[in-house]
Amino acid sequence: MESIIESLEKFGLTRYEAKAYIGMTNLISGKAEEIANASEIPRSKIYNTLKELDKKGFITITHTRPLEYKVVPPSEIFKMKKEELIKELESSQEKLEEIYNDQISEIQAPVWLIKTSENIINKEIEIIKRARKSINMRIGFLLEGEGEALIKAFQELPRGVAIKILATPECYIDGEKLEIIKMFEEANLDNLEIIETDIKFVKIVIRDGKELFRTIVKFTGEEKSILPETSVGVQNRYEDICQNFDERFLNQFNKMKAKKNKKNKGIT
């Protein structure tokens, strides 16, 4: 019983209100005196307690004489309160991340090395989540599970964030073929543009022209299959460098897009 009271208190109920609601789940409906007895609440407190429960949506009042009180089913209450709590937490997270990301952009940071595929993918996702205007990428290869993680992160971005990718059609991971362009095209993101190009052995993420992450990896065999265990990521927040890379990327992307459009129209 005590644990239930504590759970209800997390939904904003007082101890008396929690006890009254528990008592009413046994009665389903009843008059104030009956609820006071079932809940072991002083009669002098029961009317205000029930009034507050009604305001908070835990019970309904039938305006008869005397008043009759009916419990709202726990399944409805918990569903409603969980949704409210999730919305509140998401709102707080969004506001805190905005504050955090604003401060991140103020910090003059050096260059960091990130090792292991898992850490590299996590760092890329972290950078992507900070995007407010654009994500530009050169993708000559992907690590295992990276494509799916990138697409999920892209889907969670606001639609106003433009995503541009220059990518090689495919790569090999430990000898297994991965179709890069097909994977991103099938995601059907309306804010993503991807253009095929021959950029093997290169992978760069540029966020808002302010942050850059480059991954280096060794390759082996005739098909140049990547060796994930050799991957190293280089994170850079020097804005001048990032801006320079971003401008060069956009220049190349726009040229290739124009060339692709001409080809599609049959113009030589």
Report residue 50: phi and psi, to 5°. -70, -35
* Structure confidence at residue 268 (pLDDT): 47
**Virtual CA dihedral for 134, 140, 144, 147, nearest 10 degrees?**
30
Give all domains of the chain, ordered by start, each with its CATH number: 2-72 (1.10.10.10), 110-264 (3.30.870.10)
pTM reported for the whole predicted model: 0.59
CB burial of 143-171 (b: ≥16 within 10 Å; e: otherwise) equals: beebbebbbebbeebeeebebbbbbbebb
| 164 or 21, higher pLDDT | 164
Contacts of 262 (CB under 8 A, 6+ apart): 268
**With bands split at pLDDT 50, 70 and 90, how would you rate the model's confidence at 107?**
low
The pair of structure tokens assigned to 38 is 């079932």
Query: Which whole number is the average pLDDT over 172-199?
Result: 91
Q: Tell me which residue has tokens 């060339």.
A: 259
C-alpha 181, offset from chain centre: 23
The Cα 56–Cα 77 span in angstroms is 10
- In this prediction, residues 97-122 reach a mean pLDDT of 73
Which range, of 68-72, 103-107, 132-136, averages the lowest pLDDT? 103-107
